[in-house]
Amino acid sequence: MLKECASELTNQSMVAQLENRLDTAMKKFNAANSDNYTMRLQIDCLLRDRQFFNTMWRKQLRRLMAGKAQLLELVEQAIGAHELREESCARLHALREQAAQQYRKHCLEVRELQRQLEHSVKLEQFLRTKGTVRLTAADARAEARRQHRSELEAHAYNNHLNILDAIKEFTGEQELCRLRQEFTRREEENYALFNYVNELHAELTALADSVNQLNDAIDDEKAKHEARMYKQQDSVEALRGELAQLRAARERAQLHCATSEHALDTLLRRVRELAQSCECESLPLLKLVGGALDASASSARLYLTSLEHRLRETVDLIKMDEVNPLQLNLVAMISEMYTSVCPSVRQVLQRHAEAKARTPPPARRARRAPHSPRPPRAMLAHA
């Protein structure tokens, strides 16, 4: 009777200690959950702020790049306009020098013709005032040559007049100044066209060189691409072989895991049957905590510890001289079953713990306010 009261008091004190520990652990767990929830909310706010900042940053970068592109385009246009202005100024300077040279040349020709005309007039006046001119054979030849020259000059003059009339008729312009201006303008246009043709020829040559360079670069890139494709094909074949090996290893691991789980379920079922047959003290404790009576990886150690205590108490209480053969056989059978089951269960539990430690954590669940899994005190009192 005293032993039963002592064991009952011990059980009650143990239950009270476990309740206090469970209450303390649940308070710590709830505090940690609340802190985690607050930190998650802060992290969400910071992530939203960072996303908004990244969006604004990308928009500003796009605006900056667009502004840079416009600035570069304006700079290129200004450079082109400056180069065109320099070219036009150089061309205008060249035309002015050419016009000045032609004007000086024309003035010299006019002066020479004026001097020859004055000389001819003076000579004619001198010959008229001289009197009668005696014609000799040399004079006759000279006069014939002079007449022939004058005829040639008159013929050339008439030809020039005809050409000038044809030009006037063709152009529809009768004034010589306008004809000269038109001729000068056409000559300038032809000179500009000639320069433009030269520039186009230079550009075509440069484009042909760039096309050849691009063709060479394309051939090089094709060769590199083919080499890269061959290398990628080799790497893909190697990866496929490695994938096949990994799949075979995974199938073997899955088969081994299934075998281990089957063995673990069998052992846990035998442990639960043995604990129920021995009426261990841990079963009411599991009911009180709210756990299932089925033996699992988390409660197997509690079952084994209870079985050890139960066997020790049974061995201490039974006296060998007063035990009948049936009780002795029962104790021997229970000891043998515990001895055969306990190491296997411990090994399987250790493997399960190692596999659980190697398993990566699951995906983060939807955030919600933490709640306490502790049952109400009324249910605990009722239990």
> Phi and psi of 196, rounded to 5°?
-65, -40
Q: What is the pLDDT of residue 267?
A: 80
Tell me, yes or no, whether 68 lies in a domain: yes
Per the CB < 8 A criterion, the answer to whether 359 and 281 are in contact is no
Residue-wise pLDDT for 228-240, tens only, equals 899 998 899 999 9
Q: Which domain holds residue 82?
A: 33-116
Per the CB < 8 A criterion, the answer to whether 301 and 349 are in contact is yes
Tell me, yes or no, whether 105 lies in a domain: yes
> Phi and psi of 105, rounded to 5°?
-65, -40
Per the CB < 8 A criterion, the answer to whether 307 and 273 are in contact is no
Tokens of 370: 């933490």
pTM, to two decimals: 0.30
Q: Which helix (H) or strand (E) holds 174?
A: none
| Spans of the chain below 50 pLDDT | 133, 284-285, 287-292, 320-323, 326, 356, 360-383
Q: What is the pLDDT of residue 248?
A: 92
Q: Which residues does 195 contact at the CB level (< 8 Å), separation at least 6? A: 91
Q: How many domains does the chain have?
A: 1
Tokens of 40: 């998650």
Tell me, yes or no, whether 67 lies in a domain: yes
